[in-house]
Structure 1
Amino acid sequence: MSRTPVRISFSALLRVRDDDRFVLFHSPTRPGVCGPPGGVIKYFPPAAGVLERLGFDEERTPPRIEVAGMDLRGLLPAGSVRRFLAWFATGAYREHAEDCLRRELAEESLEVGLGPTAENLHEARFAHVRTVVEGPAAVPGKPYRQLRRFEVYDLVTGNGVGLRITRRLARAGRAAEHPDVVCASRSDIRHGRLGRLLIAPQSAFLMGGVRLTPDLPPVR
C-alpha cells in the first residue's frame, strides 16, 4: 500500500442553465477564472475530533486564510482514506450538498456583485445530476495523490424560489453590468476560455462526468 499522503477535496456544484448555456461566476480566489456556483463542503465542530484522529490536515489557502475554515479539503494519511470515506458516507457532522449550495449561493452572489439574495434560500430545492469522483491519483510535481468528489445539482424550478433564482442568474449572465456573471456555451467550456476569463475545469461536470481541460494553478 502506498504511504503517499492523499489530498482530498469534496465539493458541490450548482448547474444553472440559460437555454443552451451555463451560468458561471468569476472566482475572487482565482482572478481571471470563472466556474460554477458552489464550493467545498464544510464539516461541523463535532467532527473535529473524528478528523483529528484520522490525521486530517486542513488546507488553508490565501486570500481567505484568515476566514473560518472547516472545509473538507486537505491532506490525509493514506491509511486513513477508507475510514474517512466511511465517515463521509454517514453524513454525520457535515454539510450535505444542498446546504453547501445554499450557503455558497448566498456568499457568492455578494462576491459577484449581485447583492444579497432576496429569495428564502432555505426553501430552495435541488435535484441531483451526477457525482464525479477522481482518484486517488498522482499529481505531477506534488508530494501527494489526490482524491476529489464533485456533487452536481440542478435547482428545482417547479417552486417559486428555484425559478426566481434561475431567472435572476440567467439575466445577470447576459447583462453587461454584471461582468462577474457569465453564460458559457458547451463549446466555451470545451475550449476552456470565454473572452477574458479562463473557465475552471470542473465546469465540464455540468455537461458530463469527464474533465476536458487541465487544472489551473491556485493563487499563492
Structure 2
Amino acid sequence: MAFRAVFGAKNRRHPIRVSFSALLRVTDDDRYVLFDSPARPSSYGPPGGVLKIHPPAVRILESWGFQPDRTVEGANRMKGDLRGILPADSLRAFQEWFDTAAYRESATECLRRELREEMSEVGLGSPGSSIGSLTFDPIRTVREGPSEVPGKPYLQLRNFEVYELAMRTPAAIRLRRDLVEAGHDEERPGVICAGFADIAHGRLGRALIAPQSAFLAGSTRLTADLPSLR
C-alpha cells in the first residue's frame, strides 16, 4: 500500500527490477572470505547468489507480468533466477508470494547449491556430498528499494539474506577451515580474505570488491554496483 501511495495510480505499470539473494559470511578474525565472480571477472564477493524458482512458480510469476532478467553471457547459469522485471502493481502480490516460500529455493538450498558451483569455479574442487549436511545461521536481511537506478528505465528492489555457517558438524568446521586457508593462499587466486576497510574502499590490491560484500558487516551499501558481463 505504501508503495502505491508513493508512486500513484498513473505509475502502476512502472517497471521494477527485483532480485532476491542469499549470501554466506565466512570470517577469519576481521577478514571475510570472498570468491572471484565469473559474471564480473576480477571482482570478488561473498559466496552465494540469487535464489532459484521451481517450475510451478513460472506460471504464477508470468500472471503478474514478470519478465526474467538474463544476460547472453550468463544465460545458462541464470536460468530460473528470481531476478527480473515486474510492473509496479504486481509488487505486493510478488512479495506476499515470496514470503510464503512456495515454489522457490530456501536460503539453505540456495547456499548449498551455490557452494557446489562456486567452489569448483574458483579452483577449490567439489565439496562432495557433505555439502548436503550444512546448515546456516541467519545474520541479517537487507532490503534495498524500490529506488531509481542511474541510466536504467526501471526502479530496483533487492533483498539480501546474509547467513553464516553453523559450526555444528565436522563437515562445516572443515569447510570453514578450507575456505579461510584458500583465502590466504596466493596460489589460489579465486579466493581472497578482505578486511572491512578493503570492502569500504572497493578494492584489495588488483581485486575489485563487489558492493554486496558490505552486507557481511552491516546493512549499508558502501560502493557503487559493478557492471556484469553481457
TM-score by length of 1: 0.97
- Which of residues 190, 195, 208 is equivalent to 1:198? 208
Q: Does 1:169 align with 2:191?
A: no
Contact kept, 8 Å, 1:29 with 1:62, in 2: the verdict is no
Aligned pairs for 1:5-16 within 5 A: 5-16=15-26
Give 2:152's match in structure 1, choosing from 142, 146, 169. Answer: 142
> Separation in 2 of the partners of 1:62 and 1:210?
31
| 1:157-212 C-alpha deviation (Å, 9 max, x unpaired) | 13212111100100000111111100001111111101111100000000000001
Alpha-carbon deviation of 1:65? 1.5
Find the aligned partners of 1:138 and 1:4 in 2 and give their Cα distance: 11
Please provide the CA RMSD for this pair: 1.1
Whether the 8 Å CA contact 2:107–2:161 is kept in 1: the answer is: yes
SS of residue matched to 1:120:
helix
* Corresponding residue SS for 2:115: helix
Q: What is the aligned partner in structure 1 of residue 87 from structure 2?
A: 77
TM-superposed CA distance for 1:67, in Å, is: 4.3
Q: Does 1:189 align with 2:199?
A: yes
**d(CA) in 1 for partners of 2:123 and 2:186?**
12
Q: Which residue of 2 aligns with 1:213?
A: 223
Whether 1:98 and 2:128 are equivalent positions in the alignment is no
Decide which of 17, 25, 30 is 1:20's aligned counterpart. Answer: 30
**Which one has the bigger helix percentage?**
2
- Aligned with residue 74 of structure 2, among 55, 59, 64: 64
Distance in 1 between residues matched to 2:104 and 2:168, nearest whole Å: 28
Task: Please give the TM-score of this superposition, normalised by the length of structure 2.
Answer: 0.93
Segments of 5+ residues of structure 2 without an aligned counterpart are 1-7
Secondary structure of residue in 2 paired with 1:49: helix
- Please name the residue that 2:137 is paired with: 127
Letter in 2 for 1:207: A
Deviation (angstroms), 1:140: 1.2
2-side partners of 1:154 and 1:65: how far apart? 28
Shift of the 68–152 alpha-carbon distance from structure 1 to 2, 3 Å rule, reads: closer
Match of residue 180 from structure 1 = 190
Task: Kindly report structure 1 stretches of 4+ aligned residues shifted beyond 2 Å.
Answer: none
SS in structure 1 of the partner of residue 18 of structure 2:
strand
Contact kept, 8 Å, 1:58 with 1:73, in 2: the verdict is: yes
